C-alpha cells in the first residue's frame, strides 16, 4: 500500500502484511495486525507506555468526597453550584465521546506500539467517566444527576460545543478521507489540550479556597492522564508531518485552534459567570489564549496570541506543578499514587 492510497480500516489479520520496522508508517501501512512489541519504530510510544501504565489509579481510592457533599450544600454559592454542575456535564461529555471515538481511530493506525497507547487511552477515559459517576453519587442529590448528565438539553451553549466536537469525529467516520482524518487528529489534540482546562481551573480555584478539595483531587488524577493524551496526539501530528507531508496543513491547525479557543472562552464565561472568586472573564480569556500558545509551541508552531505571555492564574502554576520537588496539598497525593514500581521489567528499552 502506498502512502497516497485512500484510507481503509486495518484488517483483523493480514497474512500478506509487512511488519518490517524500516518500512512502517503510522497510518496507511500494510500491517499484518500482529502486536510485535519487540520490533517498534516509534520510541516515544514506548516511553509513553511506561508513563501511562505507571499512572494507574481508581476513583474508589479517592477519599473525602462526603466532605465535599456537605460543602456543596452549605458552603458553595449558587453561582459555584451552577458552575460545578455545568462543568461536570461538559467533562462527562468529553470523556464519554473519547471512550467511543478512540477505538474508531485505532482502526487506521498501523503501528502496534501506538495502537497500544490508544487502548490505554480509551481505558483511562472510561475510568474518568466512572470518576464523574462517583462524584455525582456522593456529592449531589440523586434528582440532580440527570440534570448534570443532560445539561446540554437545556443549555444551547453546551449543545453547540458538543455538536461541534462530535461533528468533527462523525465527518471522518462518514467520509474517511485524508483531509477528514487530519481534522480528526487535530480535533483530538484540541479536545485533550484545550477543552478540559478551564473546567479544571475552576475546581483548582475552589480547592485553593479549601472548597471541594476531594473533587479537585480526583480532577488532578484526570488531568495527569489528559496531559499524556496531549503528548500522544502531538506526537501523532509530528509523524504525519514527517511521513505524509501532503496531509499536514498548518492552516487547518490554526483555524481549528481559533474556533476551539473562541468556543472555550464563550462557554467558560457563560458557565462561570463573573462571580466566581479568583476567576473572572478577563482571566478566563487570557488563560485560554495562553494555553493555546503553549499547545501550539508543543507542535513547533508560532503563537496565535502574541500579547498573552503568561498564565494569569498564578495559583494554578502552584497547584498543577506535578514536577515540583516542593510538593503541595493537592499534587502530593497524585504524584505518590503512580504505581511506577509495578512496571519494573515490563517492555524494557
- Cα–chain center distance at 117: 14
Q: Which of 142, 226, 146, 240 is nearest to 191 (CA)?
A: 226
d(CA 276, CA 282): 12
Q: Which of 133, 124, 145 is nearest to 60 (CA)?
A: 133
The four Cα atoms 313, 230, 130, 89 give a dihedral, to 10 degrees, of: 50
Count of residues making up the chain: 349
What grid cell was written down for 243?
A: 511521513
Q: Which residues contact 97 (CB under 8 A, 6 or more apart)?
A: 162, 165, 166, 169
The four Cα atoms 114, 119, 124, 129 give a dihedral, to 10 degrees, of: 130
Q: To 10 degrees, what angle do helices 78-106 and 156-174 make?
A: 0
Determine phi and psi for 326, rounding to 5 degrees: -70, -30
d(CA 289, CA 258): 9
Determine phi and psi for 109, rounding to 5 degrees: -90, 130
Asked if residue 213 lies in contact with residue 280, where contact means CB atoms within 8 angstroms, the answer is: no
d(CA 51, CA 37): 16
Write out the catalytic residue numbers: 132
Q: Is 17 exposed, middle or buried (0-12, 13-18, 19+ CB in 10 A)?
A: middle
What grid cell was written down for 295?
A: 499547545
Asked if residue 265 lies in contact with residue 279, where contact means CB atoms within 8 angstroms, the answer is: no
d(CA 9, CA 28): 9
Amino acid at each position: 500500500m502506498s502512502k497516497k492510497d485512500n484510507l481503509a480500516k486495518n484488517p483483523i489479520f493480514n497474512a500478506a502484511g509487512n511488519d518490517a520496522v524500516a518500512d512502517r508508517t503510522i497510518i496507511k501501512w500494510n500491517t499484518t495486525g500482529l502486536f510485535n512489541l519487540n520490533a517498534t519504530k516509534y520510541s516515544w510510544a514506548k516511553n509513553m507506555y511506561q508513563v501511562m501504565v505507571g499512572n494507574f489509579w481508581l476513583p474508589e481510592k479517592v477519599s473525602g468526597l462526603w466532605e465535599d457533599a456537605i460543602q456543596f450544600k452549605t458552603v458553595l454559592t449558587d453561582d459555584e453550584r451552577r458552575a460545578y454542575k455545568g462543568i461536570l456535564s461538559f467533562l462527562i461529555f468529553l470523556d464519554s465521546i473519547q471512550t467511543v471515538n478512540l477505538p474508531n481511530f485505532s482502526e487506521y493506525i498501523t503501528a502496534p506500539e501506538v495502537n497500544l497507547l490508544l487502548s490505554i487511552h480509551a481505558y483511562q477515559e472510561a475510568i474518568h467517566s466512572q470518576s464523574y459517576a462517583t462524584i455525582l453519587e456522593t456529592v449531589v442529590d440523586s434528582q440532580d444527576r440527570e440534570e448534570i448528565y443532560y445539561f446540554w438539553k437545556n443549555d444551547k451553549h453546551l449543545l453547540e460545543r458538543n455538536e461541534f466536537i462530535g461533528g468533527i469525529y462523525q465527518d471522518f467516520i462518514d467520509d474517511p478521507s485524508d483531509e477528514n482524518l487530519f481534522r480528526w487528529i487535530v480535533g483530538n489534540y484540541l479536545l485533550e489540550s484545550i477543552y478540559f482546562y478551564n473546567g479544571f481551573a475552576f475546581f483548582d480555584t475552589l480547592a485553593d479556597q479549601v472548597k471541594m478539595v476531594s473533587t479537585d483531587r480526583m480532577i488532578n488524577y484526570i488531568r495527569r492522564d489528559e496531559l499524556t493524551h496531549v503528548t500522544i496526539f502531538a506526537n501523532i501530528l509530528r509523524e504525519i508531518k514527517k511521513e505524509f507531508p501532503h496531509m499536514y496543513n498548518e492552516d487547518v491547525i490554526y483555524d481549528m485552534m481559533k474556533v476551539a479557543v473562541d468556543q472555550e472562552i464563550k462557554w467558560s464565561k457563560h458557565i462561570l459567570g463573573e462571580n466566581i472568586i479568583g476567576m473572572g472573564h478577563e482571566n478566563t480569556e487570557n488563560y485560554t489564549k495562553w494555553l493555546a500558545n503553549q499547545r501550539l509551541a508543543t507542535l513547533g508552531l508560532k503563537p496565535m496570541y502574541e500579547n498573552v505571555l503568561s498564565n494569569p492564574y498564578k495559583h494554578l502554576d502552584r497547584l498543577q506543578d506535578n514536577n515540583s520537588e516542593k510538593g503541595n496539598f493537592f499534587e502530593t497525593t497524585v504524584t505518590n499514587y503512580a504505581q511506577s514500581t509495578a512496571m519494573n521489567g515490563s517492555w524494557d528499552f
